[in-house]
Amino acid sequence: MVIVLKKFISYLDSERGYSKYTIKNYELDILDFINYCKCNKLDEYKLTYNDVKSYLVKLYDKNYKAKTISRKISSLRTFYSYLYDNNLIKDNIFKYISLPKKEKILPKYITNEEVTVLFNTPDISSPIGQRNRLILELLYDSGIRVAELCNIKLSDINLGNKTIRILGKGSKERIVFYGDVCKDILELYLIEGRKALLNNKSNPYLIVGSYKKDKPLTTRSVELIINDLIEKAAIKKKVTPHVLRHTFATHLLNEGCDILIVKELLGHSSLDTTGIYTHVSNERLRKVYLDSHPRAKSK
């Protein structure tokens, strides 16, 4: 089974175009199930419905969140679909397993005031400061994922139209936009900061460090940069690159942007995924209503 798993991982990478992070989760989820089968003397190629239900019970007993259980079952469903398509099993038993009900967790975001404080924190008179300010601007201006940010190449940017070509999940391309404030810091970084960081070395990527001349900055490095800026800005919230993506979507909806437009800008394949942001927007509308309507105001 381990040999088949290696072929499956290669398939996810070469044919499905999944990110390294997603592929790693698939691998860990499947290995966990393979180990479970070994410990319980189950044949992975001849599973029954009850075998899988017993595995689910084990996951629930370990107090995994519904989101984690859903991911594990989805990983196994895709893997066993691959086995079925390659005539290695007679049926994909995981397609009969229902996923647990999703927990409704509202996305976290920061306010306009906090955006201003945070974005004024980097010292843009220095190369590092110019780069760090650009990281913030791009994440908030375009709503891109941190991995998408790190993979932007100079050839993806259209300075005239203020657009960037993004290669998202599943190798799906989309065009994102940025505004005049981001344009100014981008041009400053390209003229000054980036050249100083690279010390005249060539690098196809936009966001670079001073120690990896031919590679982009890693997603972990971006997370640490933002952690440091949050601490310096004295913002009492946990802010990650994904929180800036949430902030982008929430602020657009609060300003009246159509949810279908937000969906396309975020690169979501389903409107259901984007729908989570309407809860935040509706909660704001509810507060405004309760604070404003004569018969709704709190006594």
User: Is 245 marked active-site?
Assistant: yes
User: Is 242 marked active-site?
Assistant: yes
CATH of the domain at 162: 1.10.443.10
Element housing 275 (H / E): helix 271-292
Collapse the DSSP code of 239 into the 3-class scheme (helix H, G, I; strand E, B; otherwise coil) and give the result.
Answer: coil
Q: Are 183 and 163 in contact (CB under 8 A)?
A: no
Q: Tell me whether residue 276 is in a domain.
A: no
Q: Tell me whether residue 263 is in a domain.
A: no
Q: Tell me whether residue 150 is in a domain.
A: yes
Whether this prediction's pTM lies above 0.75 is answered by no
Residue-wise pLDDT tens digits, 119-142: 999 999 999 999 999 999 999 999
User: Is 279 marked active-site?
Assistant: no
Of 131, 145, 194, 246, catalytic: 145
Q: Tell me whether residue 256 is in a domain.
A: no
What is the full per-residue pLDDT of the chain (299 aa) written as tens digits?
778 999 999 999 888 888 888 899 999 999 999 999 999 999 999 999 999 999 999 998 998 888 889 999 999 999 999 999 999 999 898 988 888 776 666 778 899 999 999 999 999 999 999 999 999 999 999 999 999 999 999 999 999 999 999 988 777 889 999 999 999 999 999 999 999 999 878 899 999 986 556 677 889 999 999 999 999 999 988 999 999 999 998 888 888 888 888 888 888 877 877 777 776 666 666 666 677 667 666 55
Of 153, 162, 165, 169, catalytic: 169
Collapse the DSSP code of 97 into the 3-class scheme (helix H, G, I; strand E, B; otherwise coil) and give the result.
Answer: coil
Of 133, 245, 251, 263, catalytic: 245
User: Is 277 marked active-site?
Assistant: yes
Of 71, 108, 162, 268, catalytic: 268
The side-by-side arrangement of strands in the sheet containing 163-167 is 157-158, 163-167, 173-177
For tokens 């290696």, the residue is 6
Burial environment of residue 238 by CB neighbours within 10 A (0 to 12, 13 to 18, 19 or more): exposed
Q: Are residues 53 and 116 in the same domain?
A: no
The one-letter code for the residue type at 224 is L
Of 58, 71, 242, 279, catalytic: 242
Q: CA-to-CA distance for 20 and 26, rounded, in angstroms?
A: 10
Q: Tell me whether residue 252 is in a domain.
A: no
Q: Which tokens sit at 298?
A: 């709190």
Q: Are residues 171 and 221 in the same domain?
A: yes
Domain housing 82? 2-96
The one-letter code for the residue type at 270 is S
Burial environment of residue 103 by CB neighbours within 10 A (0 to 12, 13 to 18, 19 or more): exposed
Count the residues in the chain: 299
User: Is 169 marked active-site?
Assistant: yes
The one-letter code for the residue type at 97 is I
Find, among 168, 76, 196, 178, the residue nearest to 136 by Cα: 178
User: Is 293 marked active-site?
Assistant: no
The count of domains in the chain is 2
Find, among 261, 289, 273, 254, the residue nearest to 104 by Cα: 273
